Homo-oligomer: A and B are copies of this chain.
């Protein structure tokens, strides 16, 4: 149970920070000030997990643990200092892929660990994985990543399902999470590269 909680927390921080960076990169397109960078980083970073927590009626994870917000602000600052430049669109796409893969697992994991039935836990993984990016694109009024021609929801679904299936079979949470993450990321990477 403690391994589970630690896995959950580490994945949560990582997914929040990389998603936060994509939010800041989206703001960067508009040449905003550092505060708007931070705002976009925070909304994108914690958006998916916030929806998950509201839906499963858990306390919203970042409200009582502001360190998640600090992770978003650090990501925003990193983008502010180093970011932009030519490869920005591409960097955004790949960070989004990493965050999506991490969140697909962490969303399903938290739901499953709170006793949500498997199908709903998988949906929670998909929503957590996709909602931050959707929110970022809606707020930045950019073409939604959801509507791109390559696969986006499918990798999230595959990752969450892989995790939920292995978890139901009593595989070690850490291993199930790793497998789910790998499935989601490789499918999305394939979609980006060959889609």
**Copies of the chain in the assembly:** 3
Known: A134-B139, A141-B143. A120 touches B66 (CB 8 A): yes
Q: Are B146 and A36 in contact (CB under 8 A)?
A: yes
Q: Are A64 and B117 in contact (CB under 8 A)?
A: yes
Q: Which residues of B contact A124 (CB under 8 A)?
A: 63
Within 8 A of B (CB), among A12-30: 30
Q: Are A35 and B157 in contact (CB under 8 A)?
A: yes
Kindly state whether residue A153 has any CB partner on chain B within 8 Å.
yes
Q: Are B141 and A144 in contact (CB under 8 A)?
A: yes
Q: Footprint of B on A, CB under 8 Å? A: 30, 32-33, 35-36, 38-39, 42, 50, 54-57, 59-60, 62-64, 66, 69-70, 116-117, 119-120, 123-124, 126, 130, 134, 138-141, 143-144, 146-147, 151-154, 157
User: SS class of chain A's interface: helix, strand, loop or mixed?
Assistant: helix
Give Cα distance in the complex from A138 to B43, angstroms. Answer: 15
Q: Which residues of B contact A56 (CB under 8 A)?
A: 60, 63
Q: Which residues of B contact A157 (CB under 8 A)?
A: 35
Q: Are A36 and B120 in contact (CB under 8 A)?
A: no
What's the nearest-Cβ distance from chain B to residue A61, in Å?
A: 11
Q: Are B69 and A151 in contact (CB under 8 A)?
A: no
What's the nearest-Cβ distance from chain B to residue A19, in Å?
A: 16
Q: Are B139 and A146 in contact (CB under 8 A)?
A: yes
Give Cα distance in the complex from A152 to B32, angstroms. Answer: 10
Which among B59, B126, B141 is the interface contact of A57 at CB below 8 angstroms?
A: B59
Given contacts A63-B116, A63-B120, A138-B139, 17 further A-B contacts (CB under 8 A): A33-B151, A33-B154, A35-B157, A36-B146, A36-B153, A36-B154, A54-B54, A56-B60, A56-B63, A64-B116, A64-B117, A69-B120, A70-B119, A138-B138, A140-B147, A141-B143, A141-B144
What's the nearest-Cβ distance from chain B to residue A101, in Å?
A: 16
What's the nearest-Cβ distance from chain B to residue A131, in Å?
A: 10
